[in-house]
Chains A and B, each alone.
Chain A
Amino acid sequence: MTAQITTHPVGAAALRHRVAERARELSRQPFLVLAWLVVLIAIGWAVAPHLFTGYSPYEGNPDASFLAPNAQHWFGTDRLGRDLFARSVYGARATLTATLLAVAIAFGVGTLLGLLAGFAGGVVDTAAMCMVDVFLAIPGLLLAMVIVSVLGYSTDNIAIAVGISSIAAFARVMRAEVLTVVARDYVHAAYGLGVGRLGVVLRHVVPNAVSSVLALAALEVGSAILAIAGLGFLGYGAPPPQPEWGLLVAEGRDVVATHPWVSIMPGAALAIVVIATHRISVSLRKEHGR
């Protein structure tokens, strides 16, 4: 204990130093800072939409239909005179929760499957990887559409479908990582020290294998948003009055020639968020590689 007390100020100084270092590093990557800002705002929209807009996403003013973007209505208004910015802000919740759910499913199931295949080897590995190959052979969006058709139309089901369709990628990456970690000396050493198989898996294999899978998860967030919005656009998701990014874009497609902002503004928001998450995942992967 005494050792901890005496070394504490040194630790604090080191921490301060590291924070300062980190800040300096970030200041050299303005786009990364911007990306984090975009993602934080998007999360803010999802958590507390009423803080970002005074308009209701459902009630419109029929006199003010199809207004172009202006100071009152940043994204303009739609056919019913609803504020598109408000609808985009409220729509973030549906899209982002669905994304989180999808990535969580893909990450959880995929990691477990990959761990099982990589660690058990033999027949289990062959069977699991054959299954994964089948999944990889079917285009993700198509597979998701089939699953949604079976489960029924709703945003949650879209999320489940997108999640299931990206399990395969996670399982592959995790298996490869597990295979390399299992061959490392420290895993042999742990066995040699009398640690049981479960202990080795939980304490050595999983923590060392999972970091690159986490980088993949960050990357997957962007594509999951796209897939969910894509399915929403096709009408597999929430029913119309509810705001959802894919649906917002879909609602504007009939009037794209005359009132393009109805589709473009929510679409642009969507694109910016996806690009931002991609930028962040790239930075995470670089860090992992270091």
Chain B
Amino acid sequence: MTNDPLLRIADLAVAYRTGRRWSDAVRGVSLEIRPGELVSLVGESGSGKTTLIQGALGLLPASARIVRGSVAYSGVDVTGWSDRRMALVRGNYVGFIPQDPNTSLNPVKKIGQQVLEAVRFNARTRGRAAAAAHRADALESLRTAGLKDVERVFDQYPHELSGGMKQRALIAIALAGKPSVVVADEPTSALDVTVQKLILDHLLRLRDELSIGILLVTHDLGIALDRSDRILVMHEGRLVQEGPVDDLVEDEAADAYTRRLLAAAPARHRGRLAPAGEWRERADGPPVLVARGLRKSYALRGRRRGSEVRALDTVDLVLRRGTTHAIVGESGAGKSTLARILVGFTAADAGTVQVDGRDLTGLSRRQWREVRRELQFVFQNPFTSLDPRFTVARILAEPLRAFGLARGKAARTARVSELLHAVALDGVDPRRLPRQLSGGQRQRVAIARALALNPGILVLDEAVSALDASVQKQILQLLVDLQADLGLSYVFVTHDLGVVRLIADDVTVMKDGVVVESGSAEDVFAAPRHDYTRQLLEAIPGTRHAVAEPRPAAQLQAP
């Protein structure tokens, strides 16, 4: 083997064209990947990490161009190669694992065909005689990707597989050409945490067994800390930090941005976030929201009659005043259904919900309106929950107008700026439209809107899942501060146990519509009783280093 690294990117700069102007996305990045090495490229959305690897793979969109720099595979400079020549490099030499397994496979072709395609494309032999060998290679590739029962998977369509299996199929396709380096772009962002752990561990095993080089692109520093040999941190198109994992964690003089990212990784905190202001001892409050025996099932369409999916099966929930009750589970656990039932967006088949002792079952529209003043909902995605045509001021004034509060222009303007102040958006012009705000700012506006009526209870459905880690941390801090100031009670729905630790007093763990474990957050984290909870806890990314190195977490915990 020569001394050249498998992949060497030297001073690569990529620019995008918008209208007539060129804006830089990647501003001179250099990196190397050597055999048997897993390198993580970490950065938030917009940091240019995806553009960088698209540039390396020759997959840049038409509106982008390489300004300078070079890309070399094993010392062969491929900069400026035509798409056709690059196609020979991709697959044969570098395998690519795309982001979302649910959209990256062709839905009308069987898995086996899609792997065969990759095998055939990269094979030297053609013709009828080679067909059997190709099939064997494809099966082998699926097996290497960690799929069991490959003969069956070979003849299945993508929709018949789970998300994790689809991602493995994509890994099989990437490995089909026997590449010496694999580039994985957020390979697990669309998957549940337990599946994420399996996939990433498998990538590690592949690195050791095949001694290939892996470039893992992720926005989650926790993932990178657990598994990489080296970490590259990217910010605004530049590498701001590069080095082995331990150096990065211990290096006090690390780049400011890297330190911020580290501080934001949920797993690097132990215990609840402390409010910024005065710390009020949370009394063991009386229950404000009680749900008993909630059931909900959805009929399956197009199947034979009577078949249905049970989304919720006899679920109980108690929320104490001034505390946070987290509902945790993976996709399909029924946690969103539960949240929607609590706020009356969906009706339960059976069971009751009580707010302050008032039964919400079977209320009329008019009566529900009254309940809304006490009970508010925050949506997962701030990009869809704000009307794109409304200004910030109008968004915040809407609930006030609906209830005839803060009458008169002056009173309303005052209330709007009060709300903006409450969510730390003082500097934002209330005449802006949602699309002129960042994701974090939008979620703050959504929270401010929920607070407009001075409710006692907020139901937050995955309220930080759509946001970058550092923004996530800010929003969580905001929620904790608001809770201390206003005495709010939260029902916090999430799939991320790492987040739960930062905010929750009580935890309910759900699986397949059933509560598997419920109790105070400390108890559940310290001594999980159910196997499933233990699995979830183990799957939190970034835990290995957090346990080994508790110092920064302890610092942050001090109020």
Minimal beta-carbon separation of B347 from chain A (angstroms)? 14
- Please report which residues of chain B, range 370-398, place their CB below 8 angstroms from some CB of chain A when the two chains form the complex: 372-373, 376-377, 379, 381, 384-389, 398
Binding site for B on A (CB under 8 A): 3, 7, 184-186, 188-196, 199, 203-204, 207-208
Chain B residues 215-237 with CB under 8 Å of chain A are none
Tell me if B530 is interfacial: C-beta within 8 Å of chain A: no
Given A184-B384, A186-B384, A189-B385, does the pair A194, B373 have CB atoms closer than 8 Å?
A: yes
9 closest cross-chain pairs (CB), A and B: A193-B399, A185-B385, A185-B384, A194-B372, A186-B387, A194-B402, A195-B402, A192-B377, A194-B369
Task: Answer yes or no: B269 CB below 8 A from chain A CBs.
Answer: no
Q: How far is the CA of A135 from the CA of B482 in the complex (A)?
A: 57
A189–B452 CA distance with the chains assembled, in angstroms: 13
Find chain B residues with CB under 8 A from A186 CB: 384-388
For the complex, what is the distance from the CA of A207 to the CA of B390, rounded to whole Å?
10
- 9 new A-B contacts at CB < 8 Å, known A186-B387, A192-B343: A3-B429, A184-B384, A186-B385, A192-B372, A192-B377, A193-B399, A193-B402, A195-B398, A196-B402
User: Which secondary structure dominates where chain A touches chain B?
Assistant: helix
- Indicate whether A208 sits within 8 Å of B373 (C-beta atoms), given known contacts A7-B429, A192-B345: no
Min CB distance A231 to B, Å, is 38
> Residue among A185, A207, A208 with the most chain B CB within 10 A?
A185
A203 CA to B376 CA in the complex, in Å? 20
CB neighbours (8 Å) of A3 from chain B are: 429
Q: Are B399 and A194 in contact (CB under 8 A)?
A: yes
B369 contact set on A, CB distance < 8 A: 194, 196
Residues on B with C-beta less than 8 A from A194 are: 369, 372-373, 399, 402-403, 453
Residue B325 CB within 8 A of the other chain: no
| A191→B340 CA distance, assembly (Å) | 13
Residue of A nearest to B434 (CB): A186
Given the complex of chains A and B, what is the CA–CA distance between A190 and B394 in angstroms?
Answer: 12
- By DSSP majority rule, is chain B's interface helix, strand, loop, or mixed? loop
Flag if B449 contacts A208 (CB, 8 Å): no
Residue of B nearest to A11 (CB): B431
A-B contact pairs, 13 of them (CB 8 A): A3-B429, A185-B379, A186-B386, A186-B387, A189-B449, A192-B343, A192-B376, A192-B377, A193-B449, A193-B452, A194-B399, A196-B369, A207-B389
Per-residue A-contact encoding for B410-448, CB less than 8 Å = 1, 0 else: 000000000000000000010000000000000000100
B386–A188 CB distance below 8 A: no
Which residues of chain B are within 8 angstroms of A207 by Cβ–Cβ distance?
A: 389
Q: Which residues of chain B come closer than 8 Å to A204, judged between CB atoms?
A: 387
Whether A185 lies near B381 (C-beta < 8 A) is yes
B379 closest partner in A (C-beta): A185
Which of chain B's residues have a CB closer than 8 A to the CB of A191? 345
Asked if A189 and B429 sit within 8 Å, CB to CB, the answer is no
Q: How far is the CB of B370 from chain A (nearest CB, A)?
A: 8
Across-interface contacts of B449 in A (CB, < 8 A): 189, 193
Give the residues in chain A near B345, CB-CB below 8 Å: 188, 191-192
Give A191 Cβ to nearest chain B Cβ, in Å: 8
Task: Check B453 against A193 for contact (C-beta < 8 Å).
Answer: yes
Q: Which residues of A contact B450 (CB under 8 A)?
A: 193
List CB contacts (< 8 Å) of B335-379 with chain A. 343, 345, 369, 372-373, 376-377, 379
Given contacts A186-B384, A193-B449, contact A208 B389 (CB under 8 A): yes
B407 shortest CB reach to chain A, Å: 16
- Closest B residue to A24 by beta carbon equals B20
Query: Which residues on A sit within 8 Å (CB–CB) of B379?
Result: 185, 188-189
CB pair A199 B402 closer than 8 Å: yes
Taking CB atoms, residues of chain A closer than 8 Å to B389 are 207-208
Select from chain A the residue with minimum beta-carbon distance to B399.
A193
Task: Say how far A197's CB is from chain B's closest CB, in angstroms.
Answer: 8
What is the chain B residue whose CB lies nearest that of A187?
B387
> Which chain B residues lie closer than 8 Å to A196 at the CB level?
369, 402
How far is the CB of B331 from the nearest CB of chain A, in Å?
18
State A184–B372 Cα separation when bound (angstroms): 19
For A192, list chain B residues within 8 Å (CB): 343, 345, 372, 376-377
Bound form: Cα–Cα A161–B450 in Å: 49
Q: Judge whether B388 and A190 touch: CB under 8 Å.
A: no
For B20, give the chain A residue with the smallest CB separation.
A24
CB contacts (< 8 Å) of A208 on chain B: these are 387-389
Please, how many angstroms separate the alpha-carbon atoms of A172 and B453 in the complex? 38
Return B428 CB to nearest CB of chain A, in Å: 11
